[in-house]
Structure 1
Amino acid sequence: MQIQIIAAPDAGLVAAATRRRLRTPVLVARCAGWALLAVTVLVQLATGVLEPGLLAGGVALAVLVPMTLLNGTARRSLRRGRLTTYEISDGGVARSDEVGRHAYAWRAFRSVETLSGQLMFGLRGGRWMRVPTTGLSPAQVEEVLGAAAAQGLRVDRGSLGGRAQVVR
């Protein structure tokens, strides 16, 4: 198998990948913020005194921190955006642009997830490589997912349907 994709960054795809990648820290910040807002309400009911520090902290955690995380990460990804060549082969996945080339063997990945219009390859250590599927047929996407599964990666077909599978 040898698949090559040449693509410029797409703001919509970068935003979707960023939301997926930061799902856990954003959820933690939102939950902490809502908990702090609940404490603020309880303090108000119990004492009759509004605590502006608790209110501001709750709003910051529930709204401002998630917005900053998501928008900042997406903007950084787009700012670095250059025309990029992605190569998927039996040996692994490579990404190159005019600045450099990064190639990863299949064993460097732990999972692959499908998002609308892209594949998210999870590297060990919590990093991700986003590969757009622009111009690929559904059969080619399935070929990539099959190659990943054959290498023992967890494959989550997400928006393509089907169930996550682990092949060992």
Structure 2
Amino acid sequence: MKHIWRETKWRKFLDENWIIRKTGIYLRFDKSVDPDVKKCHMAFVKWLRKEFVFPLRLNVYVKDTYFIKARDGDMVVGTFWRPPIGDSYPYMRLAVGDYTELVSERGSENAMWALLECFAHEITHYFQYINDLDLTLIGEERQAKRYSIMILEEYDQYLDSLGLSLMDQ
């Protein structure tokens, strides 16, 4: 099975639809986002940039709210918007305003892993989108759940290899 975060089907798909395109992954934080959340998300993105190619710019808006209203009206903790290819750039929004409560319930490290799991889940939707995968909604969600866990395991192994924990960065 191919690792969709490393899949290169996007080369043909994107090159046909974009003459000039911006690349990479970029974070945008609300000013009131907890400093630890900001630091850990920035470290995670630094690692992502070393490990994976983001062939179409992905802006990530990290909001200091409990929930975000999805396009269908549902209140969720993460969304990924996929425009028609060639129209504009995709983006994601993450709600991290419950971090303090998660720390009280789970401890700081487990709370942060929960936030990063949502982040990795939404990034999986980005890779499904750029590789033009043909999945059902249920299939997309199952794949995103599986990959979010797999990516965080890879990141945890990377941190272990440096002798770091998630909160040490």
Higher RCO structure (Cα 8 Å, ≥6 apart):
2
Fold agreement, TM-score > 0.5: no
Which interval holds the TM-score relative to the shorter structure? under 0.3
With structure 1 as the length reference, what TM-score do the two structures score? 0.26
Q: Could you say which structure has the larger radius of gyration?
A: 1
